[in-house]
Amino acid sequence: MKTNYAALVSSLALAAFITGCTTTPEKPVEAEKTADQAPVMNNYPTRDRVEYVLNCVAQKGGLSYINQYACGCKIDKIAEKLTFEEFEAAKTFGYLRTTAGEAGSAFRDPNQAKDLRKRLKEAEDYAEKSCFVK
């Protein structure tokens, strides 16, 4: 009986893995707009939201309900301020701006890079104030 159960569990896990992992990108949910609200965007792929939350939780001292909830809130607040494309570009500019010499100037010097890094910093500050209890 144990062998059949183990085989069933492995088969289900394999099936879930195969059907759950696709190479097609997620489609963003279109903006919904009401008369008294700004557009609501949910165009951040789940994978990127989870990655952000896990990194945030690690920076905040480890997994706890409060950190997990606050970090999930934080990425939601950032998503209110920046589209995913802007968020991704700002992160890329931020990571690569420390590249030394002329190669790094393409990520450091353009006004677009400076603007996106500034907007990401503002969005993160807003999210930090909104989501974390001090």
Domain of residue 114: give its range: 37-131
Q: Is residue 1 a part of any domain in this protein?
A: no
Q: Is residue 104 a part of any domain in this protein?
A: yes
Burial zone of 17 (CB within 10 Å; 0-12 exposed, 13-18 middle, 19+ buried): exposed
Q: Is residue 99 a part of any domain in this protein?
A: yes
For residues 83 and 119, give the distance between their C-alpha atoms in angstroms, rounded to a whole number: 11
Give the DSSP H or E segment for 4: helix 2-20
State how far Cα 56 lies from the chain centre: 10
Residues 8-67 have pLDDT tens digits of: 444 444 344 444 444 444 555 455 555 455 545 568 999 999 999 999 999 999 989 899
pLDDT at 118: 94
For residues 88 and 94, give the distance between their C-alpha atoms in angstroms, rounded to a whole number: 10
Residues 58-89 have pLDDT tens digits of: 999 998 989 999 999 999 999 999 999 999 99
Q: Is residue 30 a part of any domain in this protein?
A: no
Q: How many domains does the chain have?
A: 1
Q: Is residue 10 a part of any domain in this protein?
A: no
Beta-bridge mates of residue 40:
32
Q: Is residue 16 a part of any domain in this protein?
A: no
Burial zone of 91 (CB within 10 Å; 0-12 exposed, 13-18 middle, 19+ buried): middle
Entry pTM:
0.64
Q: Is residue 31 a part of any domain in this protein?
A: no
Q: Is residue 22 a part of any domain in this protein?
A: no
